[in-house]
Amino acid sequence: MCGIVGYIGAKEKKNILLDGLKELEYRGYDSAGIAIIENGELKHFKAVGKLKNLRDKTKKYSSSGFGVAIGHTRWATHGKPTELNAHPHLGEYSFVVHNGIIENYQEIKNELEDVGVNFLSQTDTETIVHLFEKNNTNLNNPFHAFKKTISKLNGAYATLLITEAEPESIFFAKNGSPMLIGFNGDEIYFASSDTPIIGKATEVYYLEDGEYGYAKNGEVKLFDSIGIEKEIIKKPLATDKKMAQKDGFRFFMEKEIYEQSQVMNDCMIGRVLDNRIEFEELDSNLFRDINSIKICACGTSYHSALTGAYLLERLAKIPTQVEIASEFRYKEPLLQKDTLFITISQSGETADTLEALKMANRAGLKSLTICNVDNSSIVRESSSAILTRAGIEKGVASTKAFATQTMVLWMLTLYIAELKGNISKDRLDDELHAIRKIPKALIVTDRLHDKIHRLSKRYLHGHGFFFIGRDIFFPLALEGALKLKEISYLHAEGYPAGEMKHGPIALADSELFTIALMPKSLHYDKIKSNVEELSARDATILAISPEEFELADDFIKTKYSSHAMLEFFEMMVITQLLALEISIRLGNDVDMPRNLAKSVTVE
Ligand code: M6R
């Protein structure tokens, strides 16, 4: 969730760094910094808040002549968003920038402090630069010192280091966090994604995990994870920024579906601990004297709220009601002070949700928002906020925002459950065990995507879709139907499976498509009977389940069956891909569907 840019060459370096960081700013903007060495002299600047603050601070500075430069835009994981915690981090004579998490940083920090090293920040990153300098004191060879340093690091990282001990080089390493090298003649660029270097570099090399090396005199020396020097096979770099922002995907929505595994990691970092959930941003007093919860939201965010309500009541044992914000506003609701008022919004600007929140605030309720956009109106209006960390969502049809909202609600449930003493240690361990598996369950395989692509051609007509599910799979059915109707313009409804027999089953015939969410871990036999009833009336059934279902006309077999939430997230991806593939076949603009807007700031 942070961004890195690096450059070696003779051009003005400040602007290359700042322009590059601008492209990455959406990944994190609580602080930014740059460090440049030219003519053997180190200069650095840092500023808290958006990049504009760093631009203002460096207005009078400009670099000229050959030099090396690194920059970073930060989204805090360890330590608060302060200037001291902003990258690049300084040792005695070197600077480092880093994305990811150094899991064993505390151990390294303790060892360094024991030998008298003084740390200025609360970050994990600062350990890299001090460890490097300590190794360099012993080895008197910056490259060997760097190599030794990274061999000590556990966790995910992409890092760049510059040092006065070798002022013409940038040292780099990548493991688990993205990093690439751009080339243009003698000039060499580094970045955590390709948008900052488009239009500047002509060729690119995407580093693989475990690779490291250094750039110097227009050349890059690259080594693999076991230290063998590697040839760099460069690729031409795209020239169209818009295309590059889509990373080769046809639509932003598609890219965002694929990103879910990664953003889920971001959402969980620092919150899912070994044996509990932590929200640094929450004051535990927030839940004092709270006896119930009301959640208010619109659209997709409302569906995550419905899912959250099942979890909150089941696991945290706290009565929870969910309201559509546009309804809530005018129903003259009875609001009681022992109710925590939660709003959920991707954009943080939805007018109905914002107004509902203002009503709750006026009634003196404590409020919490789950939101993707820091400093948005809803975040500012709320007494507390949990950010979903999904990164900018460009597709109008929300995907990764829904995934992270649901994850935050699940984590929040466990947090409250523990705080109120309503969950056993064994149950909490089971839940945490399942949570850790979610990023993997969200990985889209070629096999799955191909299968859904092939299936989608059979679902381009008919007189409508019913997505059906029970329990938490009912809100997922609602969300699957909303996704499909938003971008395909086909009629789709989400329904509780057990409710079909109370009316909608009258619609059943072979032209009625039923997408049946049939998890193994929750009420399987019940949903199976409901689907059998539909099949008996000749409805066309697409079953999504880990268990083969002989009455299905089409079947997508899922992998997970050990925990309902694992099944939930796996099925969520399937419904998103189904909506995407049907809509692409129908020739629609998936990212900008007709009549819709990404942020609904009107009533
Ligand atoms: O930004 P919000 O989460 O408050 O937006 C709420 C809805 O407008 C939004 O979820 C909408 O339903 C999406 N287009 C769904 O894909």
Q: Return the ligand 1 atom nearest residue 596 CA.
A: 14
Kindly write down the DSSP assignment for every residue of 64-126, as one continuous string.
-SSEEEEEEEE--SSS-S-TTTSSSEE-SSEEEEEEEEETTHHHHHHHHHHTTPPP-SS-STH
Kindly give, in sequence order, each residue whose CB lies less than 8 Å from that of residue 409, ignoring residues fewer than 6 positions away: 304, 305, 307, 308, 311, 312, 344, 370
Give me the residues paired with residue 161 across strands.
Answer: 96, 171
Question: Nearest residue CA, atom 11 of ligand 1?
Answer: 299
Best residue among 600, 601, 603 to mutate for probing ligand 1, ranked by most atoms within 8 Å of CB:
600
CA 138 from chain centre, in angstroms, equals 40
Residue linked to tokens 């065990």:
433
Q: Is 255 a catalytic residue?
A: no
* Ligand 1 centroid – CA 300 distance (Å): 5
Contact 237, 202 (CB under 8 A): yes
Contacts of 290 (CB under 8 A, 6+ apart): 318, 338, 339, 340, 366
In angstroms, the Cα distances linking 390 to 265, 346, 399, 476 are 10, 9, 10, 19
Task: Count how many residues are written for the chain.
Answer: 603
Write out the two tokens for 34.
Answer: 């740059």
CA 188/CA 184 separation, integer angstroms: 7
What is the topology classification, in CATH, of domain 252-437?
A: Rossmann fold (3.40.50)
Query: The tokens 């313009």 sit on which residue?
Result: 489
CA of 401 to the centre of ligand 1 (A): 9
In the chain, what are the helix, strand and coil shares in percent, each to the nearest 5?
A: 40, 25, 35
Q: Which one-letter DSSP state was computed for residue 493?
A: E
Q: Nearest C-alpha to atom 14 of ligand 1 is from which residue?
A: 397
Whether the link from the prior residue into 593 is cis, omega within 30° of 0, is no
In this structure, are residues 187 and 201 in contact, taking their beta carbons and an 8 Å threshold?
yes
Distance CA 159, CA 166 (A): 17
Distance CA 373, CA 444 (A): 26
Task: For residues 171 and 148, give the distance between their C-alpha atoms in angstroms, rounded to a whole number.
Answer: 12
Counting as low any pLDDT under 70, the low residues of the chain are 1, 26-29, 76-79, 240-244, 601-603
115 vs 109: CA distance, rounded Å: 10
| Residue position matching structure tokens 């044992």 | 317
- Amino acid code (one letter) for 563: H
Can you list the alpha helix ranges (DSSP code H) found in 382-424? 400-419
Spacing, Cα 412 to ligand 1 middle (Å): 21
Q: What does the pLDDT look like over 520-547, one tens digit per residue?
A: 999 999 999 999 999 999 999 999 999 9
Phi (first) and psi of residue 336, to 5 degrees: -115, 145
CA distance 299 to 346: 10
At residue 242, the pLDDT reads: 61
Residue 298 a catalytic site member: no
Which pLDDT score, from 0 to 100, does residue 248 have? 80
- Topology alike, domains 3-245 and 252-437: no
- Mutate which of 252, 295, 298, 592 for ligand 1 pocket (most atoms within 8 A of beta carbon): 298
SS3 track for 288-311: CCCCEEEEEECHHHHHHHHHHHHH
pLDDT tens-digit map of 116-142: 999 999 888 999 999 999 999 999 999
- Is 172 in contact with 153 (CB distance < 8 Å)? no
Alpha carbon 270 to its chain centroid, in Å, reads 13
Measured from CB, residues less than 6 Å from any atom of ligand 1 are 298-301, 345-347, 350, 353, 396-398, 486, 596, 599-600
Ligand 1 atom closest to Cα of residue 347: 1
Q: What fold characterizes domain 3-245?
A: Glutamine Phosphoribosylpyrophosphate, subunit 1, domain 1 (3.60.20)
Q: What CA–CA distances, in Å, run from 374 to 201, 203, 349, 377?
A: 32, 35, 11, 9
What is the position in ligand 1's atom list of the atom closest to the CA of 598?
A: 14
The answer to whether residues 412 and 386 touch, using CB atoms and an 8 Å cutoff, is yes
Distance 406 CA to ligand 1 centre (A): 14
Q: Which of 2, 267, 298, 371 is catalytic?
A: 2
Distance CA 209, CA 258 (A): 19
DSSP annotation of 495: E
Tell me the torsion sign for CA atoms 444, 449, 452, 457.
positive
Q: What topology does CATH give the domain 446-585?
A: Rossmann fold (3.40.50)
Largest CA distance in the chain: 81
Instruction: List the domain boundaries for the chain.
Output: 3-245, 252-437, 446-585
Residues 6+ apart with CB under 8 A from 126: 89, 96, 109, 119, 120
